[in-house]
Amino acid sequence: MSEQAVTAQSEDFSRWYNEIVYRADLAAPSPVRGCVIIKPYGYEIWEGIKAGLDRRFKATGHQNAYFPLFIPESYIKREAQHVEGFSPELAVVTHAGGKELEEPLVVRPTSETVIGEAFSDWIQSYRDLPLLINQWANVVRWELRTRPFLRTAEFLWQEGHTAHATHDEAEAETLQMLDIYAEFAIDDAAIPVIKGEKSRLERFAGALRTYTIEAMMRDKRALQSGTSHNLGQNFAKAFDIRYLTESNLQEYCWTTSWGLSTRMVGAVVMTHGDDKGLRLPPKLAPHQVVIVPITRRDDQLTAVMDTVERLDRELQAAGIRVHVDRREGQSPGFKFNDWEMRGVPVRMEIGPKDVENNNAVLARRDLPGRQGKQFVPQAGIVDVVTALLDEIQANLLDDAREFRDRNIHDVANYDELKQVVAEGAWARAWWGGSDEDELTVKDETGATIRCFPFDQPDQSGKCVLTEKAAERIALFAKAY
């Protein structure tokens, strides 16, 4: 990896992002346009995301399953809003085995339809409810403009699908899963997301209501980081998902779906990264600590490596993810820059004097230069490093929250909204407009309603565009 500096965020954030993704070894270009190869270091971050979510899903009674990648085209067409919402993005297989297929097969863009068909077979009575299913899978949406992790033709995700006896149970499930997404984003990814409801125009195709967690990136653009949908009875009616009630009546189920994708990897990069590279939250970092042995003469190597190996064993025994940089032919300075680029939370340096004095040098990735360096005794190193990782996790969250809050502005009229958006920040404003009014704002400013936050004022106000009575505050921002 070259030690050449990356493009500064302030100069070209998009270029900075692409350089970081590739130079930090998260991904590599693919021979297929719009796709990327996720390299081991990037995939380990995804595995951390997957583990954090999967644990929470199972704790709330959900089970994992897997459904086919190929979906009959007729399934997609059975829910009108659904096919209309996804038709521009569909990849369709028309030939296989050297023959034209009797029915084209859609490459999975999402699985509501094929899972809905399965649910109609699995659910017979109220005793079968609630049915709580999740799958970890890949999906394909034929995007025209792509960017690694944020928007690719193929990406990885989880999609939850559940069926319930009543609207209220489905709504409770939808909100519970949004809470899980928010908890994960805040506690594990150190991303301070805002929970809210999407506008009608921004809803998932075929949903009754869509809820979202929205995050602010370092260029102040919004990133929709996870969504949870109350599908009402739309898909139940399209796929005949019914159950027999205790009173022997046939009723349609109420269903939900919810998903979070490898876009979260991009969110981690863009929320925490700086001009030196990644800054990974310790809970998701593939390596929480990297140990760099430093020797100038061959006769120093044995003593230094004996100490390094001992500290490595102690830290790993405590459950800390450690990597020892044993590369030969690379200077310590090169290694320092390399691990800064990769965002490892703590770098430990061990040289001959550290061996002699029973010390270790710890360098924090979240604090620059000498500010983040400290000399600590080797005795008790596990407690010191554990506390330091907790402090780094909290500091990254605090830093991101302070940045976000500083760049959300309350606006009283449309001119102020346009000015705030033009300056790249988020505008918070009363909204009571129609779908057409919302499109007007989008056309004139490039901003969309990211959500109606759950945290709303007690009083009402006047719509920022129409000046009519408004009951809810909305967040407006340009988004990825």
**CA nearest 279: which of 156, 399, 406?**
399
For 343-366, the pLDDT digits (tens) are 999 999 999 999 999 999 999 999
For 198-224, the pLDDT digits (tens) are 999 999 988 999 999 999 999 999 999
Q: For position 78, what pLDDT does the model report?
A: 83
**CA nearest 279: which of 398, 393, 151, 403?**
393
For 261-315, the pLDDT digits (tens) are 999 999 999 999 999 999 999 999 999 999 999 998 888 889 999 999 999 999 9
Residue type, 334: F
The superfamily in CATH containing domain 408-477 is: C-terminal domain of ProRS (3.30.110.30)
Angstrom distances, CA of residue 71 to CA of 75, 78, 278, 353: 7, 12, 38, 64
Beta strand residue intervals within 141-284, DSSP E = 154-164, 194-197, 209-216, 222-230, 242-244, 250-252, 254-261
For helices 167-187 and 40-59, what crossing angle results, to 10°? 140
User: Class of the 13-272 domain?
Assistant: alpha beta
- As a whole number of angstroms, the distance between CA 66 and CA 299 comes to 56
On whether the CB atoms of residues 126 and 245 are closer than 8 A, the answer is yes
On whether the CB atoms of residues 475 and 426 are closer than 8 A, the answer is yes
Q: For position 82, what pLDDT does the model report?
A: 65
Sign of CA dihedral 134, 136, 141, 143: positive
For helices 435-445 and 414-422, what crossing angle results, to 10°? 40
Q: Report domain extents, the chain.
A: 13-272, 289-388, 408-477
Q: For position 423, what pLDDT does the model report?
A: 97
- As a whole number of angstroms, the distance between CA 167 and CA 209 comes to 12
Q: For position 146, what pLDDT does the model report?
A: 86
Q: For position 2, what pLDDT does the model report?
A: 42
Q: What percent of the chain has pLDDT over 90?
A: 92
DSSP helix, strand, coil percent of the chain (3-state; round to 5):
40, 30, 35
Residue 81 reports pLDDT greater than 80: no
- Mean pLDDT across the chain, nearest whole number? 96
The superfamily in CATH containing domain 289-388 is: Anticodon-binding domain (3.40.50.800)
**CA nearest 106: which of 146, 139, 144?**
139
CA 329 centroid distance within chain: 37
Q: For position 145, what pLDDT does the model report?
A: 83
